[in-house]
Amino acid sequence: MVRPQNCVAVIPCYNEAEVIGSLVAQIRETVANVIVIDDGSADQTASKATAAGAKVISHAGRRGKGSSLLAGWTAARSAGFEWAITLDGDGQHSPRNIPAFLHAAETTGTPLIIGNRMGSPVSMPRLRQWINRWLSLKISELTDRELPDTQCGFRLVHLPTLAEVPLNARYFEIESEMIFQFALRGHPIGFVPIDVIYASERSKIRPLIDTVRWWTWYFRARRGAAHARASGQAFLAKSSTRVPCSIHAR
């Protein structure tokens, strides 16, 4: 059963003191337990999150979004939670969308539900729209599935399933790797529409180095996909079924 009581929110953060307190408070109206991973922030991110009721894991230096998420998921499993919902710490994801994720997982049993911003991306900057559509196309081709929004960090994941999926990415390529590894093992992946929020926040992506990291990951994944296809033991879930959210099922 997917209930707020067996779900924890996991939020990777870097210098988000201005918004993290109010974000944690809003999340706790639906999901009482929140883990914030402070990735070496130079501001009051950790203290603001703690004051709002979150458990905080602090990194002495910046390790990357992927490392932060892995630390949060590990802590969530250790605490006995079955599900984790991840949100970015900059306020770009609306906590009022959380019930839609829980409902989708409850009604379909899908172990990975991702927020889809591309149904109505009007407020998303044009460049981000283009990049997101292009990256989603590349991951769709890689996995033989139609995946509308592969870069959204707003996700609900079943932790026991996640524990069996190897993830090595330590930076922003974690979103792509997570989808690839779930698809490689034939797990269903679902999408729910979410609010598109863009205000004054600045992306933490470093264009040059993170682009190099993503392409390095992509070529490695493409080689892995080719080997898996040749062995006939991968990408078994290619059909799609429409339910309360868009589900790409077994």
The C-alpha atoms of residue 235 and residue 223 are separated, in whole angstroms, by 14
User: Is the pLDDT reported for residue 18 higher than 70?
Assistant: yes
pLDDT at res. 37: 98
Q: Which of 120, 124, 143 is nearest to 132 (CA)?
A: 124
User: Is the pLDDT reported for residue 235 higher than 90?
Assistant: no
232 — pLDDT class (breaks 50, 70, 90): confident
The C-alpha atoms of residue 197 and residue 30 are separated, in whole angstroms, by 19
pLDDT at res. 240: 35
What stretch of H or E contains 190?
Answer: strand 189-193
Domain definitions of the chain by residue range: 4-248
* Residue 122, CA distances (Å) to 116, 155, 184 in order: 13, 21, 32
- Weakest-pLDDT range from 12-21, 163-172, 238-247: 238-247
43 — pLDDT class (breaks 50, 70, 90): very high
The C-alpha atoms of residue 156 and residue 2 are separated, in whole angstroms, by 10
- Weakest-pLDDT range from 73-82, 97-106, 174-183, 200-209: 200-209
The whole-number average pLDDT for the span 35-44 is 97
Which pair of tokens denotes residue 206?
């470093």
The whole-number average pLDDT for the span 72-98 is 96
Q: What is the mean pLDDT of the chain?
A: 90
* Residue 71, CA distances (Å) to 35, 58, 88 in order: 10, 10, 15
User: Is the pLDDT reported for residue 80 higher than 50?
Assistant: yes
User: Is the pLDDT reported for residue 186 higher than 80?
Assistant: yes
| Assigned architecture for domain 4-248 | Alpha-Beta Complex (3.90)
The C-alpha atoms of residue 137 and residue 116 are separated, in whole angstroms, by 14
Contact (CB, 8 A) for 204 and 65:
yes
The whole-number average pLDDT for the span 215-237 is 85
120 — pLDDT class (breaks 50, 70, 90): confident
User: Is the pLDDT reported for residue 243 higher than 50?
Assistant: no
Q: pTM of the entire structure?
A: 0.90
Contact (CB, 8 A) for 107 and 243:
yes
pLDDT at res. 202: 62
The C-alpha atoms of residue 57 and residue 76 are separated, in whole angstroms, by 11
pLDDT at res. 129: 87
215 vs 239 pLDDT, higher one: 215
The C-alpha atoms of residue 169 and residue 66 are separated, in whole angstroms, by 6
143 Cβ contact list (under 8 Å, min separation 6): 179, 180, 183, 184, 225, 235
